[in-house]
Amino acid sequence: MSKLWGGRFSQSPEEWVDEFNASIDFDQQLVMEDLEGSVAHVTMLGECGILTKKETDEIIHGLSVLKEKAADGKLPFSVQNEDIHLNLEHFLIQEIGQVGGKLHTGRSRNDQVATDMHLYLKRRVLEIQELIRSVQSAILKQAGEHVETIAPGYTHLQRAQPVSFAHHLMAYFWMLERDYGRFEDSMKRIDVSPLGAGALAGTTFPINRQRSAELLGFSSIYENSMDAVSDRDFIIEFLANASMTIMHLSRFAEEMIIWSSQEFQFIEMADAFSTGSSIMPQKKNPDMAELVRGKTGRVFGNLFSLLTVLKGLPLAYNKDMQEDKEGMFDTVHTLMGSLKIFAGMIDTMKVKTERLSQAVNEDFSNATELADYLAAKGLPFREAHEVVGKLVLTCIQQNIYLKDLSLKDMQEASSLIDEEVFTVLEPSEAVKRRESEGGTGFSQVRNQIEKAKTILEA
C-alpha cells in the first residue's frame, strides 16, 4: 500500500519500521475529535470559497458516514496508514473518491493532531470535574452523618487531639475543591484552537481560523502558528493537575486502609470494594483503595515522561511529540476510574462510631485541653505544658489516663485545677469548644458543610 505522503520516496519502509513509526494503536481514541475537526475545517473551506459547495457537501457526507462507522467500531485501522489522520483520509477517499483528497487543503497533520488533543482534553476535563463533584458529594453525605462522631486526630501518625470525624472528612472535600479549581483554570489554555496553523508557518490559502474555531466551540485561537503546533503545555498542565488530584486520593486511600485494619477498626469497607485471599479465608482486603494508592506512580510517571520528551525539542513539530498521547490517555482513564471507585468507597463505608469513641477515651489526646485550661486560668502556657507533661508521664507509669487521675493528684501538680477539669477532659467537650473559624467545633463543622453544599448546588 502506497503512503499518502509517498511521492518523494522510492522505497517503502519494512513492516517492522511501519509498526515502530505508527501511532494508530493508541491515537484511534481521537477518532471522533479528528472527524469533528475535519467537518469544521471543510465547512470553513467551503465558506471561504476554497472548495466548491459540491465538494464541501460530498466531503462532509463522507465524514458523516465515517462517524457512523466509527461509532459502530467498523473502521479497520491499519499501521500502514500510521495514524488516525491518514487512516481517516484513506477511508474517506475509499468512500467518496478522489475528492476526499481535498480534505487536507490548508492544514497539516501537525495542527490537526494538536486540535484533536485540545478537543479531547476539553471534554475529558469536564467529565473529570463531574467525577470530582461525585466524590465530594459522597464525602458530604458521610460528613453530615458524623458531625458529632469524635475521632482521634493525628500528627506524625501519633494521637494528637480529638476531632469531629466529619471535620477530618471535610479536609478532603476542600483538597478536591482546589483540584476542581485547577482543572477549571486550565480550561483557559485548553480551549484554544491551533487549527489552520499548518505544519508550522500557516498557509497561503485564504482560510478563516476564527470561523473553524467557532465551529468547534473554541473560545480563541493561537496567535503564533509555530507555537500552535509545538505547544503541549496544556497537556503538561493537565497531567500536573491530575497528579495533584490522584495524590489527594492516595492520601485518603492510605487513611481508609489504615482505618479498616484490625488495629484501628475505625471503618469497614463495603464488600463491593474489597477482595479476599486465595489462601486465608478470613481476609477482607481493601484492594480498591490500594490500587488507587498504587496508580499514583503511573500518573506521576506520565507527567515526568512528557516533561522529559519536551525539554530539549527545537521548534516546531518533532516526531518525539508522538509520545505525548499515550500518557495523556492513560492518565485520563486512570484518574476517571479512580474517582469513580472513590465515590463508591466513601459512599458505602461504614463508620464504627463505638470504636472511635473507645479510641478517644483511651489516649492522651485531651492533654492540650488541660494545658489550655491552665493557661486560661493565668498560668503561662509553657508552664502549663510542663505541668500536663508530668501528669501524662505519671499516667503512663501507672497505666491510666488523665481522666482516671483523682482531683487530689491533679491539684498536687497545680492548685489552679478544680472539679471543672473533668468536664474539660471529655473528648466531646474538647471538640465542641474549638469554635475558631475553620476549627473542629461542631457548629464550625456544620458551617463548613453548609458552605460545601452551596458549592455543589452552584
**Confidence at 1, pLDDT banded by 50, 70, 90:** very low
Cell of 174: 476542600
Catalytic site residue from 156, 278, 406, 436:
156
Residues 54-109 have pLDDT tens digits of: 999 999 999 999 999 999 999 999 988 889 999 999 999 999 999 999 999 999 99
- Amino acid present at 346: I
Residues 420-433 have pLDDT tens digits of: 999 999 999 999 99
Report d(CA 113, CA 312) in Å as an integer: 21
Amino acid 14: pLDDT: 65
Burial class (CB in 10 A: 0-12, 13-18, 19+), 274: middle
Residues 19-50 have pLDDT tens digits of: 676 778 888 999 999 999 999 999 999 999 99
Confirm if 363 and 346 have CB atoms less than 8 A apart.
no
pLDDT-wise least confident of 16-25, 115-124, 180-189: 16-25
Report d(CA 362, CA 355) in Å as an integer: 11
Catalytic site residue from 219, 220, 261, 277:
277
Report d(CA 392, CA 53) in Å as an integer: 87
Q: What is the mean pLDDT of the chain?
A: 94
- Is residue 230 annotated as a catalytic residue, yes or no? no
Single pTM value for the model: 0.92
Cell of 252: 485518603
In order of their start, the domains of the chain are 8-105 (1.10.275.10), 110-198+218-358 (1.20.200.10), 361-457 (1.10.40.30)
Amino acid 110: pLDDT: 96
- Is residue 156 annotated as a catalytic residue, yes or no? yes
